[in-house]
């Protein structure tokens, strides 16, 4: 511990600077919470921060300097031009001299995959925080996805042939030449399968557990199942509606999530699905909800249902901190901290688990809340500080 404190003192004396790379900062999701906690940790260490991002952030951050490529969102950005982002970001990175480079939104972006190989040849050390990883789509997947249109086939096939293979190689190079941090053993296992030489360090994401434990002792709990997720097809929100159809009539389901214009059609399909199942009185949406109303609904809910596997699941931890019993898939990063008895394999099993645990005791809710405390933001920042100190020194 003394060595770490001594190293941090040296960092302050040297007036060191770090470049933090993050894709977008318009929506505060899990990756953005990691960014904010990393930002706090660096400031507490006395390190100046230079943020390089794609669009001008709408929110204000405590950052020494912000560099961005575009002043506003560019809609429907052609994928063939994404590689040009690297040509714009690279000069920004070399202009701003830094002692460390950290990417907090992974390397799923062409410009990050290009930047890190450049830094690995000569320059400051670099750290990658990876939230999840998947195999890059093959040309066959591109063609199947757009099989109805010859023009779309040509569009994606040309991109894959021109840039897909190059970006895949650069991504591999970036990951294997960086210090990789990841959010769970689940993600670490996937990384090891894809990149056997990589030795990721698991650093669980930060969660403001103290804010949610404030409703732990709520006496207003109703027979309500809560789901918190962005209203997006990838979140499998339709599973909540399928679940509601299997539950007894006295149990209601509430879906909380941010809704963006690009997902309006998906939202409309979900609303139609609720009508088709005749569940208007038992399933409701709360979109873009204020924080105060979120806490109120958490205080009134007994069960939290996660509709798909997660690489970690910050909203699951938040619900647990609030004393809400989590019912989650039996595959993914969330299985590392959610007890086995609260895991399901099929929607039928999820419905049975909800009925069985809807009236869980206060003691059970306290046990669940205590599990969530291990993911506090302070613990996350402490690990980041130790890693940064060791890397720079």
pLDDT at 155: 72
Instruction: From residue 2, give the alpha-carbon distance in Å to each of 5, 8, 38, 386.
Output: 5, 10, 22, 11
pLDDT at 9: 54
Residues 90 and 177 reside in one and the same domain: yes
Cα–Cα nearest to 46, from 99, 95, 2, 90: 99
pLDDT at 320: 97
pLDDT, one tens digit per residue, over 209-233 is: 999 999 999 999 999 999 999 999 9
Find the mean pLDDT for residues 176-196: 91
Residues 74 and 159 reside in one and the same domain: yes
pLDDT at 324: 98
CB 110 within 8 A of CB 167: yes
Give pTM, 2 decimals: 0.86
Domain count, the chain: 2
pLDDT, one tens digit per residue, over 324-376 is: 999 999 999 999 999 999 999 999 999 999 999 999 999 999 999 999 999 99
pLDDT at 127 over 70: yes
pLDDT band at 5 (very low <50, low <70, confident <90, very high): low
Task: Render the burial of 227-256: b for 16+ CB within 10 Å, e for the rest.
Answer: bbbbbbeebebebbbbbbbebeeebbbbbb
Residues 178 and 145 reside in one and the same domain: yes
In degrees and rounded to multiples of 5, residue 181 shows phi and psi of -110, 145
pLDDT at 275: 96
pLDDT at 174 over 80: no
Q: Is the pLDDT higher at 149 or at 364?
A: 364
Residues 155 and 231 reside in one and the same domain: no
pLDDT at 124: 81
pLDDT at 25: 81
pLDDT at 71: 73
pLDDT, one tens digit per residue, over 293-309 is: 999 999 999 999 999 99
Determine the Cα–Cα distance for residues 163 and 159; give it in Å rounded to an integer: 6
Residues 246 and 218 reside in one and the same domain: yes
* Highest mean pLDDT out of 101-105, 132-136, 154-158, 276-280: 276-280
pLDDT at 349: 98
pLDDT at 72 over 80: no
Residues 350 and 387 reside in one and the same domain: no
Residues 151 and 244 reside in one and the same domain: no
Residues 199 and 214 reside in one and the same domain: no
- The CA-based angle 60-30-4, given to 5 degrees, is 80
Determine the Cα–Cα distance for residues 243 and 291; give it in Å rounded to an integer: 26
pLDDT at 134 over 80: no
CATH number (domain holding residue 84): 3.40.50.2000
Residues 55 and 158 reside in one and the same domain: yes
Residues 179 and 312 reside in one and the same domain: no
Residues 214 and 194 reside in one and the same domain: no
pLDDT at 139 over 60: no
Find the mean pLDDT for residues 149-159: 72
Residues 188 and 285 reside in one and the same domain: no
pLDDT band at 54 (very low <50, low <70, confident <90, very high): confident
pLDDT at 238: 97
Q: What is the mean pLDDT of the chain?
A: 85
pLDDT at 13 over 70: no
pLDDT at 3: 53
pLDDT at 276: 96
Q: Domain containing 44: what range?
A: 2-206+376-392
Determine the Cα–Cα distance for residues 168 and 182; give it in Å rounded to an integer: 19
pLDDT at 121 over 80: no
User: Where do we find the tokens 């339709």?
Assistant: 238
pLDDT, one tens digit per residue, over 84-110 is: 666 666 666 667 778 888 989 875 544
pLDDT band at 45 (very low <50, low <70, confident <90, very high): very high
Token pair, residue 124, equals: 């400051």
pLDDT > 90: percent of the chain: 53
Determine the Cα–Cα distance for residues 282 and 241; give it in Å rounded to an integer: 9
């Amino acid at each position: 511990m003394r060595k770490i404190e001594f190293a941090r003192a040296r960092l302050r004396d040297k007036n060191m600077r770090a470049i933090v790379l993050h894709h977008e900062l318009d929506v505060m999701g899990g990756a953005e919470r990691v960014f904010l906690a990393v930002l706090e940790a660096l400031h507490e260490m006395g390190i100046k921060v230079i943020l390089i991002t794609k669009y001008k952030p709408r929110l204000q951050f405590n950052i020494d300097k912000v560099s961005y490529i575009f002043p506003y969102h560019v809609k429907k950005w052609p994928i063939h031009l994404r590689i040009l982002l690297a040509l714009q970001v690279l000069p920004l990175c070399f202009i701003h001299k830094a002692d460390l480079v950290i990417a907090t939104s992974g390397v799923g972006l062409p410009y990050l995959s290009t930047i890190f190989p450049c830094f690995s040849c000569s320059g400051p050390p670099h750290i990658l925080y990876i939230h999840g990883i998947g195999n890059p789509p093959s040309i066959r997947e591109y063609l199947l996805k757009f099989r109805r249109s010859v023009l779309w086939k040509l569009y994606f096939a040309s991109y894959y042939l021109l840039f897909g293979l190059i970006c895949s190689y650069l991504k591999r190079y970036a990951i294997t030449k960086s210090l990789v941090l990841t959010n769970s053993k689940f993600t670490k296992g996937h990384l090891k399968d894809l990149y056997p030489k990589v030795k990721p360090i698991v650093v669980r994401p930060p969660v403001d557990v103290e804010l949610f434990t404030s409703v732990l002792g709520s006496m207003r709990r109703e027979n309500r199942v809560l789901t918190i997720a962005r209203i997006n097809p990838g979140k499998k929100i339709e599973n909540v509606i399928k679940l509601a159809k299997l539950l007894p009539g006295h149990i209601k389901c509430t879906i909380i999530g941010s809704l963006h214009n690009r997902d309006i059609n998906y939202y409309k399909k979900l609303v139609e699905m609720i009508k088709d199942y005749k569940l208007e009185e038992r399933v409701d949406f709360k979109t873009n909800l204020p924080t105060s109303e979120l806490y109120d609904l958490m205080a009134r809910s007994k069960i939290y249902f996660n509709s798909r596997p997660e690489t970690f699941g910050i909203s699951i931890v938040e619900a647990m901190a609030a004393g809400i019993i989590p019912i989650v898939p039996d595959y993914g990063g969330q299985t590392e901290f959610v007890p086995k008895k609260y895991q399901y394999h099929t929607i039928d099993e999820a419905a049975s688990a909800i009925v069985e645990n809807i009236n869980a005791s206060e003691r059970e809710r306290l046990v669940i809340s205590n599990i969530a405390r291990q993911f506090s933001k302070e613990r996350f920042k402490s690990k980041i500080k130790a890693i940064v100190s060791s890397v720079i020194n």
